[in-house]
Structures are given as structure tokens and as C-alpha cells.
């Protein structure tokens, strides 16, 4: 079955250790793309997704401006973050989705751990919907985002960034 990611009900979230004492995070709320899902043959499933990098928000406009700038996402030069799967495999009650993540103009392989895919439900407008959550961790330096500063005997930001995708999808018309 082919599904379209519903940007109004989907988000990509991230969190990173700040000053090595607490996590801070942000969210991209403009996620779109296509998911082809076959529960009986997961190896035939695929996902292509795109995130509008300028849709980032952290709850602090000054921090948002810094993160959207050249030290991190450089949204003027790299307005999209994309993911294209290369392999989907069953893993317990969920799936492992290997693919290529392009972020800040750099493409690297990552693996998403999908906890499960919801059963299909019919919404009040008769659309068929499914949902899923996936998580992965990247090293931001691998994607050319190496900015940091000394802080409290350590550094301002961890290199490790946890990414969580919460996607709601509608079945595409046949």
C-alpha cells in the first residue's frame, strides 16, 4: 500500500545534550513524503521523506536563528533534509529501515528503528490512515555541523543527536 505522509500530523524531533547536563531539543513540523508499506513482505517496503529545514523551532527564536544559520543547518543553502530508504527488514514487532540521510548537503547511511506501524484506521473524512514512530542517532559532525564552545569544563553541545520521527500517513488513491 502507498501512503502519503501527512505534514499536519507529522514531525521530526531531535534532542542533544547541552553542557553535558541536560537534553535540549527542537522540532521540524513540515515533513512530507511517500511510504510504500507491505507488512507481509517488509523487504518490498520503502520510504522517501523530505523535511523543510526552515520549519525548525525550539521554543527560543534567538536559538532558532542560530541553528538555522551557517553554524548548523544553513537553511539558506540547504533548505531540505531528505531520507531515502535502501532496505527494510522486520525486527521483532517493528522494522529496521536503512537508508541515506542528506543533511546540510552531506549524505550518510543511517538506520531507523521503527517500533511498529499502526493498524489502518478510517478517519471521519473516510481517509485510510496509519502511523509510525522511528528513532535513530547521528553524529552531527558527520554532517558538517561541528560548531561547539567550551562550557562548564566540557563543551556546549554533544556530538550525538537523537532523532525521532512521528509520522501519520494517509493511503494514496489507487
Q: What percent of the chain has pLDDT over 90?
A: 66
d(CA 21, CA 133): 26
Average the pLDDT over 68-81 and give the result: 91
Of 50 and 16, more confident: 50
* pLDDT greater than 90 at residue 141: no
What per-residue confidence (pLDDT) applies to 154? Answer: 61
* pLDDT greater than 60 at residue 148: no
* pLDDT greater than 80 at residue 49: yes
What per-residue confidence (pLDDT) applies to 163? Answer: 94
Of all helices (H) and strands (E), which one includes residue 164?
strand 157-171
Secondary structure letter of residue 64 according to DSSP: H
Q: With beta carbons less than 8 A apart as the criterion, state whether 174 and 5 touch.
A: no
Query: Given pLDDT bands bounded at 50, 70 and 90, which one contains residue 161?
Result: confident
Our separate counts of H helices and E strands in the chain read: 1, 14
CA 37 to chain centre: 18
**How many domains, the chain?**
1
What is the DSSP secondary-structure string of 122-152?
E-TTS-EEEEEEEEEEEEGGGGT-----EET
Query: Which residues constitute the domain of residue 100?
Result: 2-171
For residue 101, give the 3-state DSSP assignment.
Answer: strand
Of 150 and 78, more confident: 78
What per-residue confidence (pLDDT) applies to 101? Answer: 96
Give the least confident one: 30-34, 93-97, 144-148: 144-148
Secondary structure letter of residue 9 according to DSSP: G
Residue 37: C-alpha distances to residues 3, 97, 114, 170 (Å): 8, 12, 12, 12
154: domain CATH number? 2.40.128.110
Q: What is the pTM of this model?
A: 0.90
Render pLDDT for 80-128 as a digit per residue (tens, 0 to 9): 999 999 999 999 889 999 999 999 999 999 999 999 899 999 999 899 9
* pLDDT greater than 80 at residue 158: no
d(CA 76, CA 83): 19
* pLDDT greater than 70 at residue 40: yes
Amino acid at each position: 500500500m502507498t501512503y502519503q505522509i501527512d505534514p499536519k500530523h507529522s514531525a521530526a524531533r531531535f534532542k542533544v545534550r547541552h553542557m553535558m547536563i541536560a537534553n535540549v531539543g527542537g522540532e521540524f513540523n513540515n515533513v512530507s513524503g511517500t511510504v510504500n508499506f507491505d507488512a507481509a513482505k517488509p523487504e518490498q517496503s520503502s520510504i522517501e521523506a523530505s523535511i523543510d529545514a526552515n520549519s525548525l523551532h525550539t521554543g527560543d527564536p534567538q536559538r532558532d536563528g542560530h541553528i538555522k544559520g551557517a553554524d548548523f543547518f544553513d537553511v539558506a543553502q540547504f533548505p531540505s533534509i531528505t531520507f531515502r530508504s535502501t532496505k527494510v527488514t522486520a525486527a521483532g514487532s517493528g522494522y529496521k529501515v536503512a537508508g541515506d540521510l542528506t543533511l546540510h548537503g552531506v549524505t550518510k547511511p543511517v538506520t531507523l528503528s521503527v517500533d511498529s506501524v499502526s493498524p489502518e484506521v478510517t478517519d471521519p473524512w473516510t481517509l485510510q490512515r496509519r502511523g509510525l514512530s522511528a528513532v535513530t542517532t547521528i553524529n552531527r559532525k558527520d554532517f558538517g555541523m561541528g560548531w561547539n564552545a567550551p562550557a562548564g569544563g566540557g563543551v556546549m553541545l554533544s556530538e550525538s543527536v537523537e532523532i525521532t520521527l512521528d509520522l501519520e500517513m494517509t493511503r494514496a488513491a489507487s
